[in-house]
Amino acid sequence: MTTALGHLALLIHLALFHLVGPVPADLGVHAGALSLCPTPAHCARQDWAVADPEAALASLRSALLAMPRTELVEESAGYVHATSSSALFGFVDDVELLADSAAGRVQARSVSRLGDSDLGVNARRLASLREALPG
């Protein structure tokens, strides 16, 4: 019984002190592209072929910001960076979208700030966003 109470106290403590973590150093556009994932265990990255990358980015931006606990961090021509936090512990993930007009695609990346595994959260987030693509 004492062990169960200890685990409960730890969970409450963690929930009270949201686990934000450091901002990844590789965010942003580098040589016209989003960074590759350092590991698939806590990061997902996809490229989606689209007819109009700017229009697709606008649709994806709306879908991204409609997701629970998601906030816009940075936006510039063809680029969106947002954070999304988990409901229970407040783990923060960084989500980036880039309209790559030259290649006719949208690049998408979602990466966890903390932990060795995201339990597939980032890949599921990108799959959900992909469904928001027009046409």
* CATH assignment at residue 29: 3.30.310.80
- Number of domains observed in the structure of the chain: 1
Has residue 12 been placed in a domain? no
* Residue 96 CB partners (closer than 8 Å, separation 6+): 27, 28, 34, 79, 80, 81, 107, 108, 109, 110
The answer to whether residue 26 sits within a structural domain is yes
Q: Which residues pair with 93 in a beta bridge?
A: 84, 112
How do residues 21-76 score in pLDDT, each as one tens digit?
A: 889 899 999 999 999 999 899 999 999 999 999 999 999 999 999 999 999 999 99
How many Cβ atoms sit within 10 Å of the Cβ of residue 58? 14
Range of the domain at 124: 19-130
Residue 135 belongs to a domain? no
In terms of DSSP H, where are the helices of 66-132?
Answer: 121-130
- Domain contains 11: no
Q: Is 6 among the domain residues?
A: no
28 domain residue, yes or no: yes
Residue 13 within any structural domain of the chain:
no
User: How does residue 9 score in pLDDT terms, banded at 50, 70 and 90?
Assistant: low
Question: What is the distance between the terminal CA atoms of the chain, rounded to a whole angstrom?
Answer: 55
Q: Residue 28's pLDDT is what? A: 96
pTM comes to 0.84
pLDDT digits 0-9 by tens, 12-21? 554 555 567 8
Q: Confirm whether 41 is domain-assigned.
A: yes
